[in-house]
């Protein structure tokens, strides 16, 4: 008899990957939007180009949209060594959303001025790591299709039920320790 994955075990794994997103939904006493994990190769363009890679999203979004992404912090929780924030990246004029992000950032091991920049929400994490030369690696852990609920449709300026694509990603320090757990969702088109 072969062991088969238990549904509850799979649900726990999925919830673990979605932890930053789940944090902000639970905080508002909302259920997560309907979503399903998919293989990256099944994602349509341009979402596949923007999400299926092993690098930071900020430079990819900057190059694709020909704009410096601006950060709007929607919600944040901070401790001395950890920042959990929910953000919208927009075009430079702050008119059009180009990404939703929910991110848990471990501040240990970062220079104090970088910790301050992250805590203050001065720029997207990827832009800070890039400008400050912080070595790290990016490793996507899952790709998904999400059906926009009222909250996500409002944040990304789209209609309820719109199919959105996203990824779960982990940034690590060179020693392998976690720098950030991230859920990134793109608006349609």
Determine, yes or no, domain membership for 49. yes
What is residue 2's predicted lDDT score, i.e. its pLDDT? 37
Chain-centre distance for alpha carbon 138: 12
> CB atoms < 10 A from the CB of 9, how many?
10
CATH number at residue 84: 3.40.1410.10
pLDDT tens for each residue of the chain, 189 residues long: 334 445 577 777 787 889 999 999 999 999 999 999 999 999 999 999 999 999 889 999 999 999 999 999 999 999 999 999 999 999 988 889 999 999 999 999 999 999 999 999 999 999 999 999 999 999 999 999 999 999 999 999 999 999 999 999 999 999 999 999 999 999 997
Determine, yes or no, domain membership for 54. yes
Q: Strand 163-172 and strand 178-186: pairing?
A: antiparallel
Determine, yes or no, domain membership for 101. yes
3-state secondary structure the chain: CCCCCCHHHHHHHHHHHCHHHHHHHHHCCCCCCCEEEECHHHCCCCHHHHHCCCCCHHHHHHHHHCCCCEEEEEEEEECCCEEEEEEEEECCCCCCEEEEEEEEEECCCCCHHHHHHHHHCCCCHHHHHHHCCCCCEEEEEEEEEEECCHHHHHHCCCCCCCEEEEEEEEEECCCCCEEEEEEEEECCC
Pick from 182, 162, 143: which is nearest to 37 by CA?
143
Determine, yes or no, domain membership for 35. yes
Pick from 97, 83, 91, 94: which is nearest to 148 by CA?
97
What is residue 7's predicted lDDT score, i.e. its pLDDT? 53
Host domain of residue 66: 7-186
Determine, yes or no, domain membership for 1. no
Tally of structural domains, the chain: 1
């Amino acid at each position: 008899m072969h062991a088969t994955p238990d549904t509850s075990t799979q649900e726990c794994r999925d919830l673990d990957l979605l932890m930053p997103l789940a944090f902000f939904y639970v905080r508002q006493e909302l259920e997560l939007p309907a979503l399903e994990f998919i293989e990256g190769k099944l994602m349509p363009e341009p979402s596949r180009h923007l999400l299926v890679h092993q690098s930071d999203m900020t430079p990819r979004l900057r190059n694709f949209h020909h704009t410096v992404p601006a950060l709007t912090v929607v919600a944040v929780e901070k401790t001395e060594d950890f920042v959990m924030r929910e953000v919208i990246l927009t075009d430079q004029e702050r008119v059009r959303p180009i990404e939703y992000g929910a991110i848990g950032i471990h501040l240990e091991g970062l220079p104090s001025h970088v910790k301050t920049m992250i805590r203050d929400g001065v720029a997207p994490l990827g832009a800070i790591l890039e400008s400050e030369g912080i070595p790290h690696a990016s490793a996507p852990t899952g790709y998904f299709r999400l059906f926009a609920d009222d909250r996500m449709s409002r944040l990304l300026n789209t209609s309820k039920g719109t199919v959105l694509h996203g990824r779960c990603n982990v940034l690590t320090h060179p020693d392998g320790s976690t720098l950030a757990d991230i859920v990134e969702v793109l608006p349609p088109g």
